[in-house]
Amino acid sequence: DIQMTQSPPSLSAFVGDRVTITCRASQSVDNYLHWYQQKPGEAPRLLIYVISNLQSGVPSRFSGSGSGTDFTLTINGVQPEDFATYYCQQSYSSTWTFGQGTKVEIK
């Protein structure tokens, strides 16, 4: 299986800060990399697909970048509603895998 490693596992930020989450794959996943947001007690929600494409309805302060094995999710000006856990996911291999998650908390 392709292992997805996110860093950091958690972070604290002030409202308005720029937040960066990284995701590293154990081998290249080409462009098959997607990001999800999950709030407590809720289902995951697709944020970004194929590295950098914003899902409909997702605010433009969210962006994604990267290639091959290294990817980044950035929130430019984090808002109170953005405090949640974020997961990366690859669909390159026949067994889809997720990162372990990054919890973004209010400082």
Which residues of the chain form contacts with another protein (CB under 8 A)? 1, 30-32, 34, 36, 42-46, 49-50, 53, 55, 87, 89, 91, 94-101
How far is 39 from 23, CA to CA, in rounded Å? 19
Shortest distance (Å) from residue 38 CB to another protein: 8
- Supply the minimum distance, in Å, between the C-beta of residue 6 and another protein: 9
Q: Which residue, 17 or 101, is less far from another protein as judged by CB? A: 101
Q: Which two tokens stand for residue 78?
A: 């984090």
Contact (Cβ atoms closer than 8 angstroms) between residue 64 and residue 74: yes
Q: Report the residue number, 22 or 97, with the smaller CB distance to another protein.
A: 97
What is the smallest separation between the CB atom of 16 and another protein, expressed in angstroms? 28
- CB of 17 or CB of 54, closer to another protein: 54
DSSP assignment of 61-84 equals: TEEEEEETTEEEEEEES--GGG-S
Whether omega before 59 lies within 30 degrees of 0, making that bond cis, reads: no
